[in-house]
Structure 1
Amino acid sequence: MKKLACILALSSAFVSLNAHAWGNDGHRAVGAIADQLIKGSNAEKQVQALLLPGESLAKVASWADCVKGTYCGPQTEEMVAYTTANPKHSEYHYTDVPFQLSRYEDNGVGTHGHDIVQTLKQCIAVLQGKGDASTNPHNFTPRQALLMLTHLSGDIAQPLHVGEGYVGKSGGFVLPTQQQLDDKQAFATQGGNNLQLDDIKLTATSSQLIPAASAEDKPAAATPPRAPQAIRAFHSYWDTTVVNYAFRRIGARTPEQFAQMVIADSPVVAPSSGDPVTWPYQWADQTLVVAKLAYADVTPGVMGQQTSKTTGEVYNVWPLTVPDSYPVPSSAAARSQLIQGGYHLAAVLKAIWP
């Protein structure tokens, strides 16, 4: 765990708090932080002009995920129009830079022309009033750009949405070339979705390390808590489980309360510099620091294969071993990354609309 301590020290150069992740609660927390930070500013006025009555950044923070299906409720006309015009919208949420690298580079391994960095650049350019055929190839409207910016500012702070773990043919994480990937000498793990944790063991371990939720936060008997699964995708752990742990560690019951509590602690977040359209590169580079933490002392086992029940596609999977203490540094990382996402979103909105 010495490696984890070193990486936490590195990430503290960006946030002077214990280092945090993004399901609905995580995204709502990012939006709630930004809502509070832009209060009374011109940015707040411009944001409200693009949002509908009753909406806030926190309330629309999951819109870009909700358009992927009906789990948030029926698709609206606005959602259908967006997905129809953007058939590859699910690919806007991430990039797959090898986690061992320190920088996101255009055309590097795991990047593509509509990944999260490129899509964020597009959203910012549109809101700056600079959207044209070159800078806005997806023809986002200003409202769509704001909705996507709000969501992706959270996604780019999630370590596995930026740093990808590639497994070598002989095992272990490797730093691959594109040729090695093409020749099947190394394999992507789809943002950790194909890395499988022992969920029962991890849940038992975390119960000894992370404070239990307060009685009033526990679901009613009619809706018992989710039982541990035999396996849990590593990506899913970072999307949702560590957010729950991060909330519990500071006693936050809601995303809005989490936002209030972390802002009250006056976190020091290193500012981005230069033209705001370049900030997504800086955000990705900061998240790569934390991605190294996410993969530190983590070991993939022997590759196996599974078949998708929906598509019939055969894909590779690896059992994943993590340190028994993993819930502590990972939930600390989730906390500070949620803070990063919220502060970055507020800062870019204020830079666009000073």
Structure 2
Amino acid sequence: MSATRRLTTALLACLIVAPVQAWGPLGHSVVAELAQRHLSPAAEAEVERLLAPDHTHSLADISSWPDQIQDDPAQAVLWKQTRPLHYIDFRTGDCNYTPPRDCKDGKCVVAGLQHYVDVLGDRSQSDAARLEALKFVVHFAGDIHQPLHAGSRDDKGGNTYQVQFEGKGSNLHRVWDSGMLKTRGLDVQAYAQTLDAHGPVSMPLPIAPLDNPYAQWAEESCRITAEAGFYPADHKIGQAYVDAELPVAEMRLREGGRRLAEVLNLTLTP
């Protein structure tokens, strides 16, 4: 069995075991911090070795780098190549992943995550290439768990769905990216600690007939956006909406952190 197939099989098994900007910088950092808290010793050692040239040992510190390169002229080519990999558009509204339709030429977060996991796990690659891959894996694991990075409506992931939030004009994507999370008033460490204190997160059941864990994660996100009330009919985000949807957002952070830890543990352990 190939290394990629072993990883896919192991990740699918994790979907039914319960132990354990998409998001703006806060959300991405929380996912990364949750994952780092559950790395195996071998994976943690390899993460620290790869991160050393960046003078950090924290996954949270590099979790938003794939977004930040859009403002770096030196990374213009990389940004252009990877920009379509931050999200997926389900074209027909059924949230069923069909690669030729939803991920043409591998340009979506499902294929992007798979590509960079493969690079990260390839010991024949240079450390520089694997470090870059680590940054994308950490980031895309967050992206794919943000519901509006895997939607099915023609609104640019909620960016063109205008809403009123906290007395100001905004859009639904921004509210999910950071607005609701910030209502907690917690920094990264405190937020991660609060979520981690809930204990192991129960993972969703496998979605038949998928045998691609990354596709499943995207379908889960898409189906959240299709639930009644996710798009407020009056375009107003009040306390009732936050009370209903913030727990959903936080569950996706927890699931993203758990799954990212599993990916890194499986990929970085010899």
Question: Aligning the two structures, in what range does the TM-score lie when normalised by the shorter sequence?
Answer: 0.7 to 0.9
Identity %: 27
Equivalent residue runs for 1:269-280 within 5 Å: 269-270=202-203, 278-280=212-214
Q: Among 139, 153, 169, which residue is 2:141 paired with?
A: 153
Q: Among 144, 147, 151, which residue is 2:132 paired with?
A: 144
CA–CA distance in structure 2, aligned partners of residues 268 and 15 of structure 1: 9
Q: Is the 8 A contact 1:15 1:340 kept in 2?
A: no
Aligned-pair distance for 1:56?
1.0
Q: So what's the TM-score if we normalise by structure 2?
A: 0.79
Aligned-pair distance for 1:117?
0.9
Aligned-pair distance for 1:328?
1.3
Match of 2:156 in 1: 190
Question: Alignment RMSD, CA only?
Answer: 3.1
Q: Among 330, 338, 344, which residue is 2:245 paired with?
A: 330
CA–CA distance in structure 2, aligned partners of residues 125 and 350 of structure 1: 13
Q: Unaligned regions of 5+ residues in structure 1, if any?
A: 1-12, 70-74, 133-139, 166-187, 204-227, 301-319
Question: Aligned to 2:162, what secondary structure does the other structure show?
Answer: strand
Match of 2:182 in 1: 244
Match of 2:11 in 1: none
Aligned residues: 244
Question: Aligned to 1:147, what secondary structure does the other structure show?
Answer: helix
Aligned-pair distance for 1:109?
4.7
Q: Deviations over 1:200-229 (max 9, x none)?
A: xx32xxxxxxxxxxxxxxxxxxxxxxxx43
Change (3 A) 1:350 1:24: same
Question: Aligned to 2:56, what secondary structure does the other structure show?
Answer: coil
Match of 2:7 in 1: none
Say which one has the larger Rg. Answer: 1
CA–CA distance in structure 2, aligned partners of residues 97 and 126 of structure 1: 26
CA–CA distance in structure 2, aligned partners of residues 263 and 109 of structure 1: 33
CA–CA distance in structure 1, aligned partners of residues 241 and 254 of structure 2: 20
Q: Unaligned regions of 5+ residues in structure 2, if any?
A: 1-14
Aligned-pair distance for 1:190?
0.9
Q: Which has the higher helix share?
A: 2
Match of 2:194 in 1: 261
CA–CA distance in structure 1, aligned partners of residues 91 and 232 of structure 2: 15
| Runs of 4+ with >3 A deviation | 13-16, 109-112, 293-300, 320-324
CA–CA distance in structure 1, aligned partners of residues 110 and 170 of structure 2: 27
Q: Which has the higher strand share?
A: 1
Match of 1:57 in 2: 59
Q: So what's the TM-score if we normalise by structure 1?
A: 0.61
Change (3 A) 1:287 1:15: farther
Match of 2:45 in 1: 45
Q: Is the 8 A contact 1:14 1:268 kept in 2?
A: no
Equivalent residue runs for 1:1-354 within 5 Å: 22-38=23-39, 40-52=40-52, 53-69=55-71, 75=72, 80=74, 82-97=75-90, 100-109=93-102, 113-129=106-122, 141-165=129-153, 188-197=154-163, 199=164, 202-203=165-166, 228-229=167-168, 231-245=169-183, 247-248=184-185, 253-270=186-203, 278-293=212-227, 296=230, 298-299=232-233, 320=235, 325-354=240-269
Aligned-pair distance for 1:48?
1.3
CA–CA distance in structure 1, aligned partners of residues 204 and 159 of structure 2: 31
Change (3 A) 1:294 1:233: farther
Q: Is the 8 A contact 2:201 2:255 kept in 1?
A: no
Aligned-pair distance for 1:115?
1.2
Aligned-pair distance for 1:261?
2.0
CA–CA distance in structure 2, aligned partners of residues 85 and 97 of structure 1: 24
